[in-house]
Structure 1
């Protein structure tokens, strides 16, 4: 089942990326914090409902125990939200999603295990695909701007500042996923349900602090009920998080790069809803990544 959970996670997070972009306003100084607020509040609501429906006894100390993982995820996501102000047209998503390769490598180094040739091929293909697509995305965007005879805005250039945010996201999120694999799969330090609730409540606390800062310290106008795009992104993010925990608990070293392919879904969705056109080579790379996903699914089927 971990494979199905990983696919659902990838699709949900891919769709969330679309709405994150729509909800990111380069003119708004605190856009990233407003996204954090919305995501945190939705996660807090979900954590409470999940705990009550499943009748889970939650120990608040689990938030402390799981904090290293929660901290890495929340930090990487916040950095990712900031980056959306500088890189558009789905460039950020594929770069960020190379985090799966970081976590897979770390897990393989610290917790070596036998992997079939299909597993290795699938991980390599998915990783190469998302990175290559990122390069193609940047090239396509630069070419489009030049054809319009416009001076290329610095925020569109592959500058140190522009590319730093998604790279930082990939590294920090990769470490977070590695720690998650240790907590949920390798050493089983905390049950999946408790990990999910601990993370979502931690995010909720961060959201409350961010809300106080934005609304009362910086005096920014903010209404949860008027945040349509950010609210949709938050719901999709939380949906993905729900299935993500169980995917990682099932097979962390392979699920991580598989889930990382959610950038591919965000690229496809952005083209559909923003009416943009993919080049032939972009379609080819998406096909390559999909092939890698199929290999990983095939590997699970053979293992079972």
Structure 2
């Protein structure tokens, strides 16, 4: 059975939401290199996946493709590094909804600049998702400000300033997704884009590992990275489904996949034992309706 762009987008959304929660669970607020540990694990797992994809293509791949796609890969990895750094200072239920507005930004860019089209009902669905994400981000910020912090937490809490990390991620990731749409529409196949990104991430992982262990003399034990391993597997799976979903219908798929924050919030509440307010449930329902409309009228 061939999966539609909608099914692929939902799978990417699910895996990315799970990866966010896993990485947050494995982040030590007192470890200033925790973001590098996440990058290392993602890069290693993506490197393995890249070789699987190369094998499927009988290694019919030009290294020049990697350089062609490098601007997109660089922006994606940069945005992720910034976002992961922010995990030390923000709850996943606060940062993830803010970061996930990148999908809506990318969809709007594709709609306005590339001349992509969407029906009226799709526009309504994308609007519901976008408004819901913005409201959720606002509500999460208010909830975070209400909480009493311990002395140790106050040392690591940057307040509203910490929102700069997911905001930077959203802007950079949106631009990367927009460029990705251009590349996949005119320059590269999904397989070439996927392999190029994964190989670049693998190189970044090796450089990060060298910097962490050799230059900074930090300890790195694979046994301590179990949550990052889970997150890395989910992140790689999400990237695999994302590329094909973006090729199918970028202007709608990009905003749809941004609801990985909803998955992160829900599983974050379950796994990290946090609570949802009535207003937060309302925004989740709004976004869910938008997803349903996209699927029903696909």
Kindly state the Cα deviation for residue 109 of structure 1 after the two structures are TM-superposed.
1.8
> Is 1:177 the counterpart of 2:180 in the alignment?
no
Kindly state the Cα deviation for residue 56 of structure 1 after the two structures are TM-superposed.
4.8
* Structure 2 partner of 1:191: 189
* Structure 2 partner of 1:283: 281
Identify if the C-alpha distance between structure 1 residues 119 and 155 changes in structure 2 by more than 3 Å, giving closer, same or farther.
farther
Would the aligned equivalents of 1:95 and 1:166 in 2 still touch at CA under 8 Å? yes
Tell me, in whole angstroms, the C-alpha distance in 2 between the residues paired with 1:194 and 1:45: 15
Tell me, in whole angstroms, the C-alpha distance in 1 between the residues paired with 2:155 and 2:210: 32
* Structure 2 partner of 1:219: 217
The counterpart of 1:272, out of the listed 265, 270, 280, is 270
Kindly state the Cα deviation for residue 280 of structure 1 after the two structures are TM-superposed.
1.1
SS at match of 1:153: helix
Gaps of 5+ in 1: none
Tell me, in whole angstroms, the C-alpha distance in 2 between the residues paired with 1:298 and 1:42: 34
> Is 1:88 the counterpart of 2:124 in the alignment?
no
Kindly state the Cα deviation for residue 54 of structure 1 after the two structures are TM-superposed.
4.7
Kindly state the Cα deviation for residue 145 of structure 1 after the two structures are TM-superposed.
2.0
Would the aligned equivalents of 2:116 and 2:251 in 1 still touch at CA under 8 Å? no
Q: How does 1:233-244 map to 2 (within 5 A)?
A: 233-244=231-242
Would the aligned equivalents of 2:213 and 2:220 in 1 still touch at CA under 8 Å? yes
* Structure 2 partner of 1:144: 147
Would the aligned equivalents of 1:38 and 1:224 in 2 still touch at CA under 8 Å? no
Identify if the C-alpha distance between structure 1 residues 152 and 143 changes in structure 2 by more than 3 Å, giving closer, same or farther.
farther
Kindly state the Cα deviation for residue 113 of structure 1 after the two structures are TM-superposed.
3.5
* Structure 1 partner of 2:22: 19
Would the aligned equivalents of 2:245 and 2:253 in 1 still touch at CA under 8 Å? yes
Tell me, in whole angstroms, the C-alpha distance in 1 between the residues paired with 2:153 and 2:271: 24
Identify if the C-alpha distance between structure 1 residues 56 and 124 changes in structure 2 by more than 3 Å, giving closer, same or farther.
farther
SS at match of 1:179: helix
* Structure 1 partner of 2:252: 254
Tell me, in whole angstroms, the C-alpha distance in 1 between the residues paired with 2:181 and 2:92: 31
Tell me, in whole angstroms, the C-alpha distance in 2 between the residues paired with 1:119 and 1:175: 22
* Structure 1 partner of 2:292: 294
Q: Please provide the CA RMSD for this pair.
A: 1.7
Tell me, in whole angstroms, the C-alpha distance in 1 between the residues paired with 2:100 and 2:267: 16
> Is 1:3 the counterpart of 2:6 in the alignment?
yes
Kindly state the Cα deviation for residue 155 of structure 1 after the two structures are TM-superposed.
4.7
CA deviations over 1:74-103 (Å, ceiling 9, x no partner): 000000011111111410000000001211
Tell me, in whole angstroms, the C-alpha distance in 2 between the residues paired with 1:65 and 1:248: 19
Tell me, in whole angstroms, the C-alpha distance in 1 between the residues paired with 2:50 and 2:231: 17
CA deviations over 1:220-249 (Å, ceiling 9, x no partner): 010234310111100000000000000001
Tell me, in whole angstroms, the C-alpha distance in 1 between the residues paired with 2:153 and 2:233: 35
SS at match of 1:58: coil
> Is 1:159 the counterpart of 2:160 in the alignment?
yes
* Structure 1 partner of 2:43: 40
Identify if the C-alpha distance between structure 1 residues 113 and 227 changes in structure 2 by more than 3 Å, giving closer, same or farther.
closer
Kindly state the Cα deviation for residue 10 of structure 1 after the two structures are TM-superposed.
0.4
Identify if the C-alpha distance between structure 1 residues 152 and 24 changes in structure 2 by more than 3 Å, giving closer, same or farther.
closer
* Structure 1 partner of 2:136: 133
Count of residues in Structure 1 that have an aligned counterpart in Structure 2: 295
Would the aligned equivalents of 1:89 and 1:141 in 2 still touch at CA under 8 Å? no
> Is 1:121 the counterpart of 2:119 in the alignment?
no
